[in-house]
Amino acid sequence: MAEEKTEGGLRRPANESDLEDFQSETCAHCLERFGDGEGWEDEFGDYNEPMCALLWGADLKSPIPQWTIKDGKRDCSMFREDPNNPARCLHTMEMFG
């Protein structure tokens, strides 16, 4: 399944690696990445970290309505930048200490 490239169209991750890239580039800098902030215990007694409902339900079979193409780039309408972990260009050297 190929990723949707149409401007304004829904975006579906092309593969698991593409989904992981999106998570590290975008989701890691989002205030919503922990969802409601409460984890849960599964049926095996293991603690599960809280996470965004979009990530929790993401699969490679169907697009997620909140994930689109905007200005030629991947976008999430739920994204709210975390001021303690702002997104920045990963290809630019840090200019100031």
Q: Are 83 and 77 in contact (CB under 8 A)?
A: no
Going from N- to C-terminal start, the domains of the chain cover 16-76
Predicted model pTM? 0.63
Mean per-residue pLDDT of the chain: 76
pLDDT of 56 over the 80 cut: no
pLDDT of 1 over the 50 cut: no
Q: Which pLDDT value is given to residue 13?
A: 79
Q: Are 56 and 19 in contact (CB under 8 A)?
A: no
- Cα separation, 9 vs 57, in Å, equals 19
